Amino acid sequence: MLTLALAPLGSIAIYSEIENWYTQKEAFETGLITRTIETVTGQRALLESAMLSADTLSHLVADRLENATACSAFLENFIDESGFYAFAGFIDAQGQMACISEGDPVDFSQSEDFAAAVATPRASFSFQPAGVITGRPVVLINRPVYEGDTLLGFLSISISRRTFDMIATTPDSETSPRVSFLVNHRGQTLTSVDKPDVDDFLPQPAMMNDMISARQGVFSSTSLGGEERLFSIAELVPGQLYVLGSWNVDQSRSFNLWRIGFPFLMWLASVAVVMFAVHYMVVRHLRHINTQLRRFALGNRAEFQRLPDEAPNELREIDSTFTKMARLIRRDEVEREDALREKTVLLKEVHHRVKNNLQLIASILNLQLRRLTDPEARTILHGVQARVRSLASIHRRLYEQDRISNTNATEFFETILRETLTLAQSKQSGLRVETEFEPVILPPDKIIPTALLFAEALTNALKHAKPPRADAPPLLKISFSARDGQAELRVRNSISDTANEAVTYGLGQELMTAFALQVHGEFESGAVHDDDGAGWEMRLRLGDSGLNENGPEVENA
């Protein structure tokens, strides 16, 4: 409220001060331009008089062009009577100056300046350090002469520099510019001072053109001498003649910022008070609420710290609402965690009971084996018992896991391999086992068929593993890897060179094919021959459908 109350008063003070400054600035610039014009009052009157004389003479000379002698006598008489002009002459459209007040005729047909004047004829002023006829510094006044729409030529009148000096106004060092110049429409100076460094007070050419385009004003720029100067320009003859003043920078009037700084500082002080009040009453309490919410979002379920009693009622209501919401969320989370924990315990209990039942079945089969004497029946029951034990191992592993949503298949394979090799040690002597496992995550509905297929392949490989050569032990190679979204399981056993394809057929082969269909995998088996010699290899490939769809399909160690 304090800021809003002071804002109009401060705005009025600032606006009033800025308006006053602009008024002073305009008066200052007007004064500079007026004093600049006053320095060339006499010279301006002489040039305007010369232009009027050229306008009058153009009609009189046009009637005498056929007689060059009479025309020259007329101009000579005009110069003698004027007392101010040094020379007068007429240049025809072909560049010949035959009608002149003094001297011999001159040919300007090859002059580039004359060609430019013919291309764009206009009244103009120019300065020549050495006149063509008089040989002295002169200012030329050129005016085109027409007969109807036909250009007859140009009438030129020159004024000597000495005449300009005679009528020049004596400058006042305190109120006059450092140097003043008469400038034509092309930015060329018509008069100069005897001082050698006078051109250093002129502006840069680009700035000169901008000032001429503006016609009148005050500008601050760098001079040809490299100094920062103040320039004033005014138009004397529209589009033809200008006066340029070069002033020292200390003549300028800078803007006093302190006069508008005080109301601005008052406004800033009021803003600071309001910001402090907002911070004390609102912002710090909002930060407190935000901190509590961030802690809650990051998992900190500690009780919220309530706002102090001096906090605004609205913020205290918000804090109370957030506290109630957090309590409801905590209650729902506890209930959901209890339900999940109960389901997990029940699921583990299911796997535990299934494992116990399977072990019981394996024990019953073992009792039955002791009663059998038929070798073929004992072999069949041994196979069934091995498959039951493998399935029991899988359920025991599922029961022991902390999480059963994502399962590392490698851990199952290692457990099955270890238990199978323990049972097979009495039957296989000198067996060499090589393994290469990589971590691959499979969902529970995929892991059981895959593990059973691996157990069946491992049993089949141990059953048919033979030395590849007389001097080499039996070899069992197992690998499980994943690349580019596909997992591959390989089980290879060595065989002798005399082995035949009969080893590939049987119940185990049918079971492995059925398990592969359950996981939508590609199953292959057959004889191979590599650096390890002859062998039999089983390959199972699991694509995208066989890997975990809820997370990374393949995890490499």
Q: What is the pLDDT of residues 26-64, one digit of tens each?
A: 888 888 888 888 888 888 888 888 888 888 888 888 888
CATH topology of domain 406-557: Heat Shock Protein 90 (3.30.565)
The per-residue pLDDT for range 101-157, each reduced to its tens digit, is 888 888 888 888 888 888 888 888 887 777 677 677 788 888 888 888 888 888 888
pLDDT > 60? residue 251: no
Mean pLDDT over the full length of the chain: 80
The answer on pLDDT for 424 being more than 80 is no
Distance CA 96, CA 471 (A): 126
pLDDT reported for residue 169:
65
- When mean pLDDT is compared across 91-105, 342-356, 468-482, the lowest value belongs to 342-356
Asked if residue 43 lies in contact with residue 168, where contact means CB atoms within 8 angstroms, the answer is yes
229-243: per-residue pLDDT in tens? 888 888 888 888 888
| Mean pLDDT, residues 91-97 taken together | 86
Instruction: Say whether pLDDT at 183 is over 80.
Output: yes
Q: For position 472, what pLDDT does the model report?
A: 80
- Structure confidence at residue 483 as a pLDDT band (50, 70, 90): confident
Query: Environment class of residue 450 by beta-carbon count within 10 Å: exposed (0-12), middle (13-18) or buried (19+)?
Result: buried
pLDDT digits 0-9 by tens, 203-218: 888 888 888 888 888 8
The three-state (H, E, C) secondary structure of 18-65, written as one string? HHHHHHHHHHHHHHHHHHHHHCCHHHHHHHHHHHHHHHHHHHHHHCCC
How sure is the predictor about 404, in pLDDT bands with cuts at 50, 70 and 90? low
pLDDT of residue 545: 44
Q: What secondary structure letter does DSSP report for 186?
A: T
Q: How far apart are CA 254 and CA 264, in angstroms?
A: 19
The pLDDT of residue 549 is 40
C-alpha distances in angstroms, 212 versus 132, 205, 233? 28, 11, 8
Backbone angles phi, psi at 530, to 5 degrees: -140, -155
**What residues does 157 pair with on adjacent strands?**
88, 141
Other Cβ atoms within 10 Å of 87 Cβ, number: 23
Domains of the chain, residue spans: 11-40+169-251, 44-164, 406-557
- Quote the strand ranges of 315-413, DSSP E: 407-408
According to the model, what pLDDT value does residue 417 have? 83
Which range has the worst mean pLDDT, 195-204, 266-275, 342-351? 195-204
Q: Is 348 helix (H, G, I), strand (E, B) or coil?
A: helix
Better pLDDT: 361 or 177: 361
| CATH 3.30.450, domain 11-40+169-251, yes or no | yes
Nearest of 461, 450, 371, 393 to residue 424 by alpha carbon: 461
pLDDT of residue 192: 55
What is the 8-class DSSP label of residue 544? G
pLDDT of residue 554: 35
Pair 161, 43: CB distance under 8 Å: no
**pLDDT computed for residue 255 by the predictor:** 54
- pLDDT category at 333 given cuts 50, 70, 90 is confident
Burial class of residue 541, CB neighbours in 10 A (0-12, 13-18, 19+): middle
pLDDT band at 428 (very low <50, low <70, confident <90, very high): low
Answer for the pair 454, 391: CB distance below 8 angstroms, yes or no.
no
Q: Identify residue 12 by its one-letter amino acid code.
A: I
Neighbour-count burial of 158, counting CB atoms closer than 10 A to its CB (0-12 exposed, 13-18 middle, 19+ buried): buried
Check residue 556 and give its pLDDT.
31
**Which whole number is the average pLDDT over 345-361?**
81
Higher pLDDT, residue 106 or 12: 106
pLDDT band at 250 (very low <50, low <70, confident <90, very high): low
In terms of Cβ atoms closer than 10 Å to its own Cβ (0-12, 13-18, 19+), residue 300 is: exposed
Q: How confident is the model at residue 260 (pLDDT cuts 50, 70, 90)?
A: low
Q: In this structure, are strands 475-483 and 432-437 parallel, antiparallel, or unpaired? A: parallel
pLDDT, average across residues 473-500: 83
Element (H, E) at 125: strand 124-128
Residues 6+ apart with CB under 8 A from 173: none
Supply the pLDDT for residue 257. Answer: 63
Sheet strand arrangement including 217-222 = 179-184, 241-247, 228-237, 217-222
Report how far Cα 537 is from the mean position of its chain's Cα atoms.
58
Which CATH architecture is the domain 44-164 placed in?
2-Layer Sandwich (3.30)
Say which residues have a Cβ less than 8 Å from residue 193's Cβ, sequence separation at least 6.
Answer: 179
Q: Give the residue from 414, 416, 398 showing the smallest Cα distance to 406.
A: 398
pLDDT reported for residue 173: 59
Answer whether residue 95 shows pLDDT above 80: yes
Q: Measured between alpha carbons, how far is 256 from 199 in angstroms, rounded to an integer?
A: 33
pLDDT in tens, 297-308: 888 877 778 888
Give me the residue label for tokens 């091995």: 386
C-beta of residue 203 within 8 angstroms of C-beta of residue 231: yes
Question: Which residues of 193-257 form beta strands (DSSP E)?
Answer: 217-222, 228-237, 241-247
Instruction: Tell me if domain 11-40+169-251 and domain 44-164 are identical in fold.
Output: yes
CA angle, residues 455, 456, 460, in degrees to nearest 5: 115
Beta carbons within 10 angstroms of residue 419's beta carbon: 17
